[in-house]
Chain A
Amino acid sequence: MDLNDTPEQAEYRQRVRAWLREHQGEAPPRNGSYEDTAYVDARRAWQRRLAEAGLAGVTWPKEYGGQGLGPIEQVTVNQELSAAGVPGILDVIGIGMLGPCLIAHGSEEQKSRHLGPMLHGDEVWCQLFSEPAAGSDLAAVQTRARRREDGGWALNGQKVWTTNAQFAAYGLLLARTDADVPKHKGLTMFIVPMDAPGVTVRGLRQISGEAEFNEVFFDDVALDEDAVVGGVGNGWGTALTVLMFERLTIGFGSESFGSPTRLSETVAADPAARRDPKVREVLGEIISELLAVRFNGYRALTALSRGQIPGPEAGLAKVTMVNAGIRAADLGADVLGPDALEPSSEWSYLISFLPGLKSAGGTEQILRNTIGERVLGLPPEPRLDKGIPFSELRAKEKEAVSR
């Protein structure tokens, strides 16, 4: 048990810290609005600086411009960025999840065309998976890609919850290419240029009033034959690769919702709250859970650094984190009163943001299903969609609703 760096890790940390000390003055603020073009441009430029310094794509192979290092080094970079008070890369989804999928499944042309501009922030990517009627049941996507006579594809449909779509250059899109086979089989992954004719991006305002996500519409968007990633009909397997890297990104423990220190400061500053047994009990429970997530993160990181792939149980950390965050924001607001709900309050954003986050990256219920089945080995729920062609399944669903 050792939370300290090895001599090699310590040396790496020193190098990262030295670079940041020299260059942190060039960094934009950590927080800003992604609806503000100037802020997004500043974050792009900062990502380029990080990439040139070897602080982006830390775990990418060297041949694609990465550093070929391990998860510990990635976490070291995250920690040092955070300690320096500067933002990290803009395109977390591209570099963390979509780039690695291209590296695993893309053609040589796709890799040489796209990975460099992605790494340097010249071309930001978005993930076009979820749809209004396909979230937990992702394989139910209805966005349709039909083969044209010239071998290319015509794309029609709608995606939703798309982070960064408003300024992304490309998206990785899961579409149905064959509705006459069971639903997991008729899927294909595509690279979609976001400036193609027929692509419309619309901001999706949430409870807070901010538009952090988008809806994206595709109206007869023409895609070339070489837009396919990983082969026609192999979209589900390609999507699973992305989801595995999503778990890895969570494993790097880069995000936390609701700071234990800020919550404790809020309680400590109120003499009545500070001595209130109920407040103290809730505070103690929240802090215990957040500490558990932190130290389980170290366990997961150790496993990752030994080459183990994170399993679905990583989702438990997300469940704990989100629910503890909700309780933390609630307690902060209980102590401060209605002022906590004003937009100027630090708690207001969390209070508005967390209910939606419960569904992000897998709803709590879906995560519990997956973990129950894959980790505990419990039998799956009987399914009505197994082995049935997707078109037939949709017809049955429509009939059931109209009855």
Chain B
Amino acid sequence: MNFALTDEQEFLREAARGALARHKTIEAARAALEDPGALPDLWPVAVEAGWPGLLIGEEHGGAGLGAFEALLVAEECGRVLASVPLLGLLPATAILNAAGAPALGELASGALRASYVPARPPGELEDGWTVEPRSGMARAQAPRAAVEGDEVVLDGAVAFVPDAPGAALLVVVGTDAEGAPIAAAVDAGAEGVRVETVVRYDATRSLGHVELRGARGRRLDVDEAVLADAWYLAQALIAAESLGAVQTCLQMAVAYAKERFTFGRPIGSYQAIKHELTEVLRRQENARGLQYYAGWARESGPEEFPLAASAARACAGAALDFAARANINVHGGIGATWEHDAPLFFRRAQLSRRLLGGTHDATDRVAERMLAGVSAAA
């Protein structure tokens, strides 16, 4: 039994924090609300730190590390709202690495940037692979994928794809006529591919609507489990980002509660404030326990990874929503002004919880895995 970070993992996390601290990411998050071009390009930071190759095997020039390390880096990015395209990139590299795709070296070095065009695995309440719709609650079918030899012809649309803008390679999950999932690597510049950049509420979040009309890609030889794993990896990554942001919200709110006085004493001495902040801490620690669970499960208990990643997403998403609101609440009216940092984390919370199936979907997946587990045992 050893459920703590190794020295190497601590070092990786400190290095990530140090590298990101050299950029004014939070100021940029505000400026980008009025001018999306104000975001600093953090890709060189990621490349220098070796993050693109985190999940690519060492034989291809990657770091050959596991989800645990990837989650630690995502957490640090979330802590300072840094727009590093890991959410799209890392699940894409996981699929490409499993497929033994060409160009893994270029991907690991950062010369080529890939993005995952996600599809949600079937569940108890919906039997097909589905993707995010542009609006509304009904999820759309995954793009149709017609296999022609080594190639796949794709037709369909996927909305709100993280980090799609600027990616040279799209790793698309579609389904064939039987509904079986098919993965393809599609050049972003190929005929029939359109990526429309969209900015919603949190300007640090790079999103794109992806349209595929007869777009041709190379078929990736991976089984269904790899494609389901990519979805849950994305869930765990957005959970880790959220956990990072929770920590900043808590630090900000605690610092203010110590220095703001009312009726002759610091507001942090009132139980109403103290208990709200303790609730943020409780949710933060629960999210961390589940992040460890997800990181552990993907390497050592893959059959539990869907449960672990979904639970991590559910808890962390709700934790960030709570923490962002508590932070504003503790600051009072000033916390809800444009110039304050608190609303930037609130924006992050509101958009994050509605991406990649949303936190409610993750919560439902937790129930589904438990129900399936006891049914199987019965």
Contacts and interface: CB of A to CB of B under 8 A. Distances in A.
A1 B269 contact: no
A365 interface: yes
Interface in A254-271: 260-261, 264-265, 267-268
Given A376-B277, A379-B268, A287 B367 contact: yes
B24 interface: no
B315 A288 contact: yes
Contacts of A267: 367, 371
A319 interface: yes
A109 interface: no
A288 B271 contact: no
A240 B292 CA distance: 32
Contact of A289 (B124, B286, B364): B286
Contacts of A5: 1
Interface string B289-323: 11011011001100000011011001100100000
B134 interface: no
B127 to A, nearest CB: 13
A75 B1 CA distance: 11
A327 interface: no
A302 B367 CA distance: 29
B370 A264 contact: yes
A283 B367 contact: yes
B258 interface: yes
A277 interface: yes
Contacts of B254: 376-378
Contact of B4 (A268, A277, A299): A299
Contact of B282 (A264, A305, A320): A320
B265 interface: yes
Contacts of A288: 286, 290, 310-311, 314-315, 363, 366
Contacts of A316: 278, 281-282, 285
Contact of B293 (A280, A295, A378): A295
B177 interface: no
A2 B1 contact: yes
Most buried by A among B2, B310, B367: B367
Given A288-B290, A369-B271, A378-B254, A72 B368 contact: no
A368 interface: yes
A279 to B, nearest CB: 8
A372 interface: yes
Contacts of B286: 288-289, 292-293, 296, 320
B18 interface: no
B1 A375 contact: no
Given A296-B285, A376-B281, A378-B254, A281 B1 contact: no
B340 interface: no
Contacts of B338: none
Given A292-B286, A295-B3, A303-B4, A268 B271 contact: no
Given A1-B295, A268-B375, A292-B290, A377 B1 contact: no
Interface string B1-33: 111101000000000000000000000000000
A274 interface: yes
A372 B275 contact: yes
B289 A368 contact: no
B270 A381 contact: yes
A151 interface: no
B43 to A, nearest CB: 29
Contacts, number: 187
A299 B271 contact: no
A25 interface: no
B191 to A, nearest CB: 42
Interface of B is mostly: helix
Interface string A99-135: 0000000000000000000000000000000000000
B315 A3 contact: no
A288 B306 CA distance: 12
A247 B6 CA distance: 26
B257 A378 contact: yes
Given A3-B3, A379-B266, A291 B274 contact: no
Interface of A is mostly: helix
B138 interface: no
A371 B269 contact: no
A63 to B, nearest CB: 27
Contacts of B367: 264, 267, 279-281, 283-284, 287
B300 A378 contact: no
Given A281-B364, A296-B285, A320-B282, A377 B300 contact: no
A49 B273 CA distance: 51
A268 B293 contact: no
Contact of B278 (A280, A372, A379, A382): A372
Interface string A1-29: 11111100100000000000000000000
Given A292-B315, A378-B277, A298 B1 contact: yes
B218 interface: no
Contacts of A305: 1
B69 to A, nearest CB: 11
Interface string A117-160: 00000000000000000000000000000000000000000000
Interface string A360-380: 000001001101110111111
Most buried by B among A4, A274, A292: A292
A359 to B, nearest CB: 16
Interface in B234-275: 250, 254, 257-258, 265-266, 268-271, 273-275
Interface in B39-72: 68
A187 interface: no
A302 B4 contact: yes
A277 B378 contact: no
A382 B370 CA distance: 47
Contacts of B113: none
27 contacts: A1-B6, A265-B374, A265-B378, A268-B375, A275-B124, A285-B318, A285-B363, A287-B311, A287-B366, A287-B367, A288-B314, A288-B366, A291-B293, A292-B286, A294-B289, A299-B3, A302-B3, A303-B4, A305-B1, A319-B282, A320-B282, A372-B275, A378-B273, A378-B274, A379-B268, A380-B269, A381-B271
Give 3 closest A-B pairs by Cβ, nearest first: A292-B286, A284-B363, A372-B274
Interface of B: 1-4, 6, 68, 124-125, 250, 254, 257-258, 265-266, 268-271, 273-275, 277-279, 281-282, 285-290, 292-293, 295-296, 299-300, 307-308, 310-311, 314-315, 318, 360, 362-368, 370-371, 373-375, 378
Interface of A: 1-6, 9, 72, 75, 260-261, 264-265, 267-268, 274-275, 277, 279-281, 283-285, 287-289, 291-296, 298-299, 301-303, 305-306, 313, 316, 319-320, 365, 368-369, 371-373, 375-382
Given A5-B1, A378-B269, 12 more contacts: A1-B295, A9-B1, A283-B370, A284-B310, A284-B311, A284-B363, A296-B289, A368-B274, A376-B268, A376-B278, A376-B281, A379-B265
